[in-house]
Amino acid sequence: MSFSKIIATGSYLPTGVVTNYDLAKMVDTSHDWIYSRTGIEQRHIAHSDETTCDLAEQAVYAAMESGRFDATDIDLIVVATTTADQVFPSTACILQERLGIRNSPAFDVQAVCAGFLYAIDIADKFIRTNCANRALVIGAETFSRIIDWTDRTTCVLFGDGAGVVVLEASGTPGIHSTHLRANGAYKDLLSVPVGVSRNFDQVINGSAYTQMQGGEVFKIAVKCMEQIAVEALEANEAAVDQVDWMIPHQANTRIITATAKRLGIPMEKVIVTINQHGNTSAASIPLALDTAVRDGRIKTGDTILIEGFGGGFTWGSAFLTF
């Protein structure tokens, strides 16, 4: 039986940076107010001529620097994004053409902040069933495009970026298990309630913005993140102290801290990048992973628990050996 294993990581952040002090000049807020409630100090914002595919492409090139794969070796591309370049074709297909890859499956996955976990699950199953040998799994967002920059409850939270992992077939498990959930009953608590077939006039006039009931989202997110993490541990008969690193979706430091506390995982074992990146939705987990790989914290053989929670509601976890 084939398993999938991560052989390379990469990430990219736009050069544009908006600090909390910058936001304080735009809306009624302050650095201290934002940082105390979210843990965010700054976020990267794509330039007006940068697309989600542009960010994804640069993240792939960063991963290719490892020298462990070439674009022509890729036989599956899965892009997790809420902010696709266009209605169609998919961002994955646009990226495929740029990389010079031909004929492999390429498609987008939309599960908002849990999108990367959904994409990992899909790619892992492709490899386990011998339908792919080497896959690009990407989380990429230009989330700033769906933010109302006059709404201080949302504009302080989000940023843009992309992260990628390369999965390869292996005789030994890298990804041991994945666990996905969704509950559409909570759809109105976190959403952009417009689209092609609903309220399209708001798309045309440029008011397709994220809406969030933060307090309710917080309570449900902490509970769901704890439960899905426990599910991953139980599925692998693993104790908490066997986890070398937990990489949560970078939504809010209070959610991250509360989840870690409930699980009994010390914060020294939790990868936190939200202070520099903000919430980059589907990109946040692979961005955090790549950051920790490049700074030497995560090493080959480490046991990692990843988890994410997003609009839908969607949530998930994965248990893996790096």
Question: What amino acid positions are annotated as catalytic residues?
Answer: 113, 249, 279
Please state, in angstroms and rounded to a whole number, the distance separating the CA atoms of residues 316 and 162: 19
Alpha-carbon dihedral angle through residues 241, 246, 251, 255, given to the nearest 10 degrees:
0
In three-state secondary structure terms, 235 is helix
* CB within 8 Å of 237: residues ≥ 6 apart: none
Rounded to whole angstroms, how far apart are CA atoms 269 and 22? 31
Residues 204 and 196: their CA atoms lie apart, in Å, by 10
- Beta carbons within 8 Å of 226's beta carbon, 6+ residues apart: 259, 262, 263
Count the Cβ atoms, other than its own, within 10 Å of residue 184. 9
Report the b/e string of 262-292 with b at 16+ CB within 10 A. ebebeeebbbbbbebbbbbbbbbbbbbbbbb
Tokens of 148: 């109302």
Tokens of 117: 């976990």
d(CA 264, CA 305): 13
Catalogue the E-assigned strands of the chain.
3-12, 16-19, 42-45, 76-80, 106-109, 134-141, 161-170, 175-182, 190-191, 211-212, 245-248, 303-310, 314-321
Strand bridging mode 245-248 / 211-212: unpaired
C-alpha span between 176 and 120 (Å, rounded): 12
Separation of alpha carbons 151 and 263, rounded Å: 33
